[in-house]
């Protein structure tokens, strides 16, 4: 989950930066069909959800590693 979260966050940040440069990633071109506000909500949600997945999965992996090393 850590890899998925970091990929989502990076892709969301990249989409925001490229949006300012009028270069939208082809994977996200469909979000502009609903308008600029909805596109911003989706891009920000990518960053927030991706960051949350990254942070919360980091703790789970460390706990699993500790349990394995204790056994």
On the 0-12 / 13-18 / 19+ scale of CB atoms within 10 A, 9 is buried
Q: State the Cα–Cα distance between residues 6 and 27, nearest whole angstrom.
A: 17
The pLDDT of residue 4 is above 80: yes
pTM over 0.85: no
Structurally, how many domains does the chain consist of?
1
Q: Which domain holds residue 63?
A: 2-70
Q: State the Cα–Cα distance between residues 24 and 4, nearest whole angstrom.
A: 21
Per-residue pLDDT, averaged over 31-56, amounts to 93
Q: How far are the Cα atoms of 11, 36, 38, 58, 62 from residue 27, in angstroms, in the given order?
A: 10, 16, 15, 27, 33
How many other CB atoms sit within 10 Å of the CB of residue 40? 14
Task: Work out the pLDDT band at 57, boundaries 50, 70, 90.
Answer: confident
């Amino acid at each position: 989950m850590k890899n998925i979260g970091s990929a989502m966050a990076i892709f969301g940040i990249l989409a925001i930066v490229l949006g300012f440069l009028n270069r939208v990633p082809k994977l996200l071109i469909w979000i502009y069909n609903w308008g600029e506000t909805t596109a911003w909500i989706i891009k920000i949600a990518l960053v927030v959800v991706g960051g949350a997945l990254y942070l919360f999965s980091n703790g789970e992996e460390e706990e699993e590693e500790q349990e394995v090393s204790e056994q």
